[in-house]
Structure 1
Amino acid sequence: MFFWNRKKEPATATKQEVVTPQEFNTFGLQDLLHYIKREIGVDLFSKNSVIETKLRLFCERKEIYSFRKLFETLQTDRTLRQDLIDLVTVNETYFYREESQLDLAVTFALAIPNVKILCAPCASGEEVYSLSMMLQERRREPREFSITGIDINSEAIDKAQKGVFSERSLHKLEERLKDKFFTHEDRYYHARKEYFSSISFTKVNIFEHEFLSLGKFDIIFSRNMLIYFDDDFRLKTIERFATLLKPEGKLFLGHADIIPDNHYFTKHTDNRLSYYVKK
């Protein structure tokens, strides 16, 4: 027998091949944080350790194994860019949040024919729906006002447009308002579209040109966005709000929002509630 001439049989795998996970390279994180700040104004440098973990998990889900590679891919991949924006701009809210401030804005709105209101950002829409409900409760017909909600987060805009909310979102509403403006199915409340014909939502970045094409408004709500910006981006935001506001238009900010000195607005106080009037 000439075993050395015997043809070898193909090897049969008896064990499942083990794939070694690719090691993640953290190089490029600073470039990535600069990119986020430049594109959407959000300053994440002070949250470096927390955001690093969040961004790393995001990369691994996308099968990207370095921050530098993510940064490079963002330059041409618009879908990836939007996914990243959605990741870092998640914002939770609820109906009738800071009701006294909403009520003051509604009081101003009632004195303006065909009033136009902008909510920027609008998150998942609770603020927009709340203002609409309060105006209608004060005897203003939907055809007599319009409210536009904008946000850079595409998932938030999608939810706002669907108008489906959890019990938690509606926890401040009395049952009468829930019954009037919503239908209750399983654990969710669906906005009755016949009451909300005067509201609209669109995905817009306030630092891009399309923001300035939204038209002119009598009132702008922008609560709890400026806290994520540095002074340069805060001033840039205030300038852009001033461009969209009509003369004597009102700007409402969150209690923690701080704006730098500027020549666009004067601050007013009404029963300890602050708002800004365009000069």
Structure 2
Amino acid sequence: MLPNGREFQFTEADFEKIRKMIYDYAGIALATSKQDMVYGRLAKRLRALNLHTFNDYLRVLERGDSKEFELFTNSLTTNLTSFFREAHHFPILAELLKRQRLNSPGGMNVWCSASSTGEEPYTIAITACEAFDTLRPPVKIVATDLDTNVLEVGRNGIYNADEVNKLGPARVSRFFDKQADGRTYRVKQELRDMIVFRKLNLIEPNWLVRGPFDAIFCRNVMIYFDKPTQLKILQRFAPLLKSDGLLFVGHSENLYHAADYFRLQGKTVYELAKAPASPAGRGF
């Protein structure tokens, strides 16, 4: 144990290198106050690799170990989520989907751009099912995240009973199957079939998604980016959204600096400020 009580040597220079690495790769702007958080999260990786200093760990990353860099990134991303978080968004989404159906014979598309462990895209799926009163609504959802661990949780769709039961018995029985262990529930197959989970880095040059989308959810994500990075992402969202589509953001986020692209329609809900150009990207 070092004199400062830490298990591993962790210098200011180490922290600054880590800040630059995660900013360059994912656009995440770590505040100087996050040094203890970074130490706590990455110390687990040093133990796993039997390393003794952060300088040793940084050399592993700098050698280009892609698997370790993925684990490094997963360690530094935050995944706070729950079913029907910021619940005021979902009645708005339901009305949007019902309205859009008239002009969408091929069905509607929604992008959940920071899906975390899956509660948000499954909430979108539940909302669609309830809007159309069927387990097979005309809606497809692409759910993306940078963290590969949380994407796997989302694909599996298994959640603790304490979390699921907050939805109420009617929703639980309609949209979940209780598992044999009695402590977990799995989202029904029909809802899982509505969603494609995919890794995506919002600052990478090519997004493997293709619009137009009826709705894009990017909630409580922009707070991790600086203003220039936020604006670049929002500029790329605009052409992927239908002219009458909506962008949903988090309760502490505003898009005033992107007024050329989005205007406020309701509480943390935005519409396009002008007609979009042709959609960019590929896939879905």
> Is TM > 0.5 for Structure 1 vs Structure 2?
yes
Find the partner of 1:162 among 132, 156, 159: 156
Deviation at 1:172, TM superposition (A): 2.9
Distance 2:191 2:245 in 1: 26
Instruction: Indicate the residue corresponding to 2:128 in structure 1.
Output: 135
Instruction: Indicate the residue corresponding to 2:99 in structure 1.
Output: 111
Distance 1:30 1:67 in 2: 12
Deviation at 1:232, TM superposition (A): 1.6
Q: Does 1:200 align with 2:188?
A: no
3-state SS in 2 of match to 1:169: helix
Q: Does 1:264 align with 2:261?
A: yes
Comparing 33-42 with 239-248, greater Cα deviation is found at 239-248
Instruction: Indicate the residue corresponding to 2:19 in structure 1.
Output: 33
Residue correspondences, number: 255
3-state SS in 2 of match to 1:59: helix
Comparing 205-214 with 151-160, greater Cα deviation is found at 205-214
Instruction: Indicate the residue corresponding to 2:282 in structure 1.
Output: none
Deviation at 1:212, TM superposition (A): 5.2
Instruction: Indicate the residue corresponding to 1:179 in structure 2.
Output: 173
Q: Give matches, 1:1-279, under 5 Å.
A: 24=9, 26=11, 27-46=13-32, 47-75=34-62, 76-112=64-100, 113=104, 114-139=107-132, 141=134, 142=136, 144-185=138-179, 186-211=182-207, 213-262=209-258, 263-269=260-266, 273-278=267-272, 279=274
3-state SS in 1 of match to 2:163: coil
Distance 1:241 1:42 in 2: 18
Q: Considering only CA atoms, is the larger Rg found in Structure 1 or Structure 2?
A: 1
Deviation at 1:162, TM superposition (A): 0.4
Stretches of structure 2 that go unaligned for 5 or more consecutive residues are: 1-6, 275-284
Give the aligned CA root-mean-square deviation in angstroms.
Answer: 2.1
Deviations 1:43-77 (A, max 9, x none): 22331233234323432332233333333322411
Q: Percent identity?
A: 25
- The residue type paired with residue 229 of structure 2 is F
Deviation at 1:157, TM superposition (A): 0.4
3-state SS in 2 of match to 1:172: helix
3-state SS in 1 of match to 2:167: coil
- The residue type paired with residue 84 of structure 1 is F
User: 1:165–1:188: 8 Å Cα contact kept in structure 2?
Assistant: yes
TM-score by length of 2: 0.82
Comparing 192-201 with 115-124, greater Cα deviation is found at 192-201
3-state SS in 2 of match to 1:209: coil
User: 1:222–1:254: 8 Å Cα contact kept in structure 2?
Assistant: yes
Deviations 1:195-253 (A, max 9, x none): 44221111111111342544431210111111111112211221222232232321100
User: 2:157–2:192: 8 Å Cα contact kept in structure 1?
Assistant: no
3-state SS in 2 of match to 1:70: helix
Q: 1:134 to 1:35 in 2, by over 3 A?
A: same
3-state SS in 2 of match to 1:48: helix
Show structure 1 runs of 4+ deviating over 6 A.
Answer: none
Deviation at 1:171, TM superposition (A): 4.0
Q: 1:64 to 1:118 in 2, by over 3 A?
A: same
User: 1:128–1:147: 8 Å Cα contact kept in structure 2?
Assistant: yes
Stretches of structure 1 that go unaligned for 5 or more consecutive residues are: 1-21
TM-score by length of 1: 0.84
User: 1:231–1:259: 8 Å Cα contact kept in structure 2?
Assistant: no
3-state SS in 2 of match to 1:94: coil
Q: 1:214 to 1:51 in 2, by over 3 A?
A: same
Instruction: Indicate the residue corresponding to 2:278 in structure 1.
Output: none
Q: 1:99 to 1:275 in 2, by over 3 A?
A: same
